[in-house]
């Protein structure tokens, strides 16, 4: 992208039976200042657009850069379905189709064809039922490019990153090691500088146990693992708060003290974030060599095909992708 051309966003439709195709159609109908390239099946996308009453001007993507885009204008990289898609009824025969869209988008970013990828939700269970081991977008993209990554969920008021993601709660304590936390904190720190333009990031680190262990009375992970690591990283120049009790660290009065939070596990901090800003929260994968943002909700199979799915989260994800791509281009 240049000062006179729009950022090129590859937008993957995710689960064909879910709301992703409809959300892309509604995104295209906005006046968002980006060149949107849908990565999905052409005919299925047109059916989804018809379902939600959106008139699309759909053309094949030739890779050229443009200076403007009219509402309803959408380019496409056609990836054929493996089987006809029925809204609300995921089909494992389309698992390979879903992963092919993600691979095309990632490879296109690496090649410089796209400035960022924005992803609609996938149905993990259906992909696994299709015989393909799959734990999520974050892990797929990390494996695709061989990167160490961290998941961030960002709203206008709060950025939450996760030390562990899709693990059973029983497996979390053993996973919280000093090497893991150091890797996460270094990725988060670097991303806050490079992607978000924060020169001297401040990161709050949550404890694993209630009350951050209560001086060892409610668990020793803070004393044995987290505190020594934070002290060592502080001595290297990082600004780190914690370990903090999770039940007070996220209150509004505390948030001015830090730029991002590192939570120990998936549900430790995300309920607070989603309860406050569900339709404005964006999933960002930190550590990739390209920008990836996503919605922070699932496939909503019960809404698929009704034309009533709310595109707010996908619009927020696209806006953040534009912001991050613009900052990277001007760096």
pLDDT tens digit sequence for 183-196: 999 999 999 999 99
Three-state secondary structure string covering the chain: CCCCCCCEEEEECCCCCCCHHHHHHHHHCCCCCCEEEEEECHHHHHHHHHHCCCCCEEEECCCCCCCCCCCCEEEEEECCCCCCCECCECCHHHHHHHHHHHHHHHHHHHHCCCCEEEECCCCHHHHHHCCCCCCCHHHHHHHHHCCCCEEEEECCCCEEEECCCCCCHHHHHHHCCHHHHHHHHHHHHHHHHHCCCCCCCEEEEECCCHHHHCCCCCCCHHHHHHHHHHHHHHHCCCEEEEEECHHHHCCHHHHHHCCEEEECCHHHHHHHHHHHHHHHCEEEEECCCCCEEECCCCCCCCCCCCCCCCCHHHHHHHHHHHHHHHHHHHC
pTM score: 0.92
Q: Are residues 101 and 112 in the same domain?
A: yes
Q: Are residues 15 and 133 in the same domain?
A: yes
Q: 97: domain range?
A: 1-146+290-330
Q: Are residues 258 and 168 in the same domain?
A: yes
Q: Are residues 111 and 243 in the same domain?
A: no
Q: Across the chain, what does the average pLDDT equal?
A: 95
Q: Are residues 283 and 294 in the same domain?
A: no
pLDDT above 70 as % of the chain: 99
CATH of the domain at 168: 3.40.718.10
Q: Are residues 130 and 158 in the same domain?
A: no
Output the pLDDT for position 248.
92
Output the pLDDT for position 172.
96
Q: Are residues 79 and 69 in the same domain?
A: yes
What does the pLDDT average to over 23-46? 97
Q: How many domains does the chain have?
A: 2
Q: Are residues 141 and 3 in the same domain?
A: yes
Task: Please enumerate, by residue number, every residue annotated as part of a binding site for a divalent metal cation.
Answer: 166, 211, 266
Q: Are residues 34 and 128 in the same domain?
A: yes
Task: Please enumerate, by residue number, every residue annotated as part of a binding site for substrate.
Answer: 137-138, 274, 283, 292
pLDDT tens digit sequence for 272-285: 888 887 778 899 99
User: Domain boundary at 272, 287, 302, which?
Assistant: 287
Task: Please enumerate, by residue number, every residue annotated as part of a binding site.
Answer: 137-138, 166, 211, 266, 274, 283, 292
What does the pLDDT average to over 318-325? 96
Q: Are residues 116 and 191 in the same domain?
A: no
Q: Are residues 177 and 196 in the same domain?
A: yes
Q: Are residues 157 and 127 in the same domain?
A: no
């Amino acid at each position: 992208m240049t000062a006179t051309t729009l950022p090129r966003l590859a937008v993957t439709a995710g689960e064909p039976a879910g709301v992703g195709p409809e959300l892309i159609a509604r995104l295209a109908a906005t006046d968002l200042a980006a060149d949107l390239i849908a990565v999905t099946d052409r005919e299925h996308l047109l059916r989804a657009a018809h379902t939600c009453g959106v008139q699309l001007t759909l053309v094949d993507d030739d890779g050229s850069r443009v200076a403007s885009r009219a509402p309803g204008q959408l380019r496409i990289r056609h990836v054929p379905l493996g089987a006809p898609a029925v809204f609300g009824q995921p089909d494992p025969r389309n698992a390979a189709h879903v992963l092919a869209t993600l691979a095309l988008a990632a490879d296109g970013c690496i090649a410089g064809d796209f400035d960022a990828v924005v992803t609609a939700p996938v149905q993990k269970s259906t992909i696994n039922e299709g015989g393909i081991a799959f734990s999520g977008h974050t892990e797929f993209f990390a494996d695709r490019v061989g990167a160490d990554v961290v998941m961030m969920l960002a709203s206008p008021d709060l950025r939450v990153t996760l030390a562990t993601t899709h693990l059973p709660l029983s497996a979390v304590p053993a996973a919280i090691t000093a090497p893991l936390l150091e890797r996460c904190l270094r990725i988060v720190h670097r991303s806050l500088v490079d992607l978000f333009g924060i020169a001297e990031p401040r990161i709050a680190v949550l404890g694993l146990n209630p009350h951050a262990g209560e001086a060892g009375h409610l668990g020793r992970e803070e004393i044995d693992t987290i505190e020594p690591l934070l002290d060592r990283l502080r001595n290297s120049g990082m600004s780190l708060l914690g370990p903090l009790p999770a039940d007070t660290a996220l209150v509004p009065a505390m948030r001015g003290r830090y730029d991002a939070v590192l939570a120990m596990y998936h549900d430790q901090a995300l309920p607070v974030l989603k309860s406050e800003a569900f339709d404005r929260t964006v999933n960002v994968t930190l550590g990739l060599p390209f920008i990836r943002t996503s919605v922070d909700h699932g496939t909503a199979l019960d809404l698929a095909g009704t034309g009533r799915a709310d595109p707010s989260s996908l619009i927020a994800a696209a806006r953040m992708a534009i912001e991050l791509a613009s900052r990277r281009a001007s760096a």
